[in-house]
Amino acid sequence: MTRQSLHIDWTACDGRGLCTELLGPLLVRDEWGYPRAAGYGSDVPIPSSFVAEARDAVALCPRLALTLQEVRAPARS
Amino acid sequence: MAEAFWALGRATGVVSLVLFTVTVLLGILTRSGRPALGLPRFAVTLVHRNVSLLATVLVIIHVASLLADPYAQLRLVDVVVPFLGTMKPFWLGLGTFAFDLVLALVITGLLRHRIGQPAFRFVHWFSYAMWPVAVLHTLGDGSDVGKSWLVLLLVLCVGSVLVSLAWRASATFVEYQHTRFEEARR
Ligand code: HEM
Ligand code: SF4
């Protein structure tokens, strides 16, 4: 099974906060405005209900810092 | 008929200048990274893009209708190659130059993901050249420049861009700049 994962390129991201608006509770802004996903770093698994919003975030990020990647999900226990 | 093309050319020219002014203001707002006018940040970028596309459609109509107006003596080369015109070649050339810049800005804007951020940013800086060139073209070539409504409109456009440029250059322009400065100072 493949799942979508959102990759954040920290060298490009400038904490503009578009993605945190679009990806609501999944991503939150830290105290400097940068996105944070609870429990994850640069690769955030995107549940299927959020894939459309993730696509919008990739398209609209003013710094082109986001990419959506397909990952073959290791069977998580 | 020529009269109609001329009227259409003038009207679309003025409206597109106003829309490009709004585009610049919205671009600066986008760059500041703040929600504005009751819109979230991602919507501000979308409105910036859409207003710029609408403005582009209007300049295309502006150019096409003046091509059709025999008095304007516009040739096809004058649409893309600046300063070759028969009438007021300098002021017309500024319009052509601004038009070329708009095409470059819109194409690179729409292909941002294809060409990458550095190339997009490089071309996008030219929006700060495109807008004043378009204003000068209006001042030099506009048939209505003597009319008070156009003077008022131009004063409003230039004034609003100058104010937002001052904001753009100020220390508190970017959201979170304050927090980031504090942090850097520690
Ligand atoms: C399809 C068309 C366009 C798209 C997709 C687009 C997209 C963008 C984006 C994403 C930004 C933010 C850049 C950043 O935050 O780093 C921006 C900024 C800006 N845009 Fe556009 N834009 C378009 C057309 C235009 C046009 C035609 C103009 C000129 C009238 C313009 C003027 C500006 C300005 C002045 C800024 C602020 C630049 C700065 O100070 O850093 N844009 N645009
Ligand atoms: S939208 Fe882009 S620049 Fe803004 S916080 Fe998200 S990843 Fe960073």
Of the partner residues B30, B45, B112, the one whose CB lies closest to the CB of residue A64:
B112
Average pLDDT over chain B, rounded to whole? 92
pLDDT the model gives residue A77: 47
Cβ(B51) to ligand 1 under 6 A? no
CA dihedral over B81, B83, B88, B92, signed as positive or negative: positive
Q: How far is the CA of B70 from the centre of ligand 2 (A)?
A: 51
Closest CA to B17 of B148, B145, B185: B145
Closest CA to B140 of B72, B80, B94, B81: B94
- Sorted by sequence, the CB contacts under 8 Å of residue B34 that are 6+ apart come out as B41, B44, B175
CA dihedral over B49, B51, B52, B56, signed as positive or negative: positive
What residue segments make up the domains of chain B, in order of their start?
Answer: 2-169
Residue B179 has pLDDT above 80, yes or no: no
Say if CB B154 and CB B40 are below 8 A apart.
no
Share of chain A above pLDDT 70, in %: 92
Which of the two residues, B176 and B128, has the higher pLDDT score?
B128
* ipTM score above 0.90: no
- In angstroms, rounded to a whole number, what is the distance separating the alpha carbons of residues B85 and B110? 30
> What Rg, from alpha-carbon coordinates, does chain B have?
18
Query: CB–CB of A17 and B117 under 8 A?
Result: no
DSSP character at residue A12? T
Q: How far is the CA of B152 from the centre of ligand 2 (A)?
A: 39
Closest CA to B103 of B47, B57, B43: B57
Residue A72 has pLDDT above 90, yes or no: no
pLDDT the model gives residue B126: 98
Of B124, B135, B165, B176, the residue with max ligand 1 atoms within 8 A of its CB, to mutate for a pocket test, comes to B124
pLDDT the model gives residue A41: 86
Residue A61 has pLDDT above 80, yes or no: yes
Query: CB–CB of A33 and B176 under 8 A?
Result: yes
Query: CB–CB of A56 and B42 under 8 A?
Result: yes
Q: What is the pLDDT of residues A36-49, one digit of tens each?
A: 988 888 999 999 99
Residue nearest to atom 5 of ligand 1 (CA): B109
- In angstroms, rounded to a whole number, what is the distance separating the alpha carbons of residues B15 and B19? 6
For residue A51, give Cα distances in angstroms to A26, A45, B50, B87.
Answer: 12, 10, 24, 55
Residue B176 has pLDDT above 60, yes or no: yes
What residue segments make up the domains of chain A, in order of their start?
Answer: 4-70
* pLDDT band for position B67 (cuts 50, 70, 90): very high
Q: What is the mean pLDDT of residues B54-83?
A: 93
Of A13, A26, A44, the residue with max ligand 2 atoms within 8 A of its CB, to mutate for a pocket test, comes to A13
Share of chain B above pLDDT 70, in %: 95
Strand pairing of A28-29 and A43-46? Answer: unpaired
For residue B39, give Cα distances in angstroms to A18, B1, B29, B114.
Answer: 12, 43, 11, 27
- In angstroms, rounded to a whole number, what is the distance separating the alpha carbons of residues A61 and A42? 15
Share of chain A above pLDDT 90, in %: 70
pTM over 0.90: yes
Q: Which ligand is nearest to the CA of A35?
A: 2
CA dihedral over B92, B96, B101, B107, signed as positive or negative: positive
Q: Kindly indicate whether the domain formed by A4-70 is annotated with CATH number 3.30.70.20.
A: yes
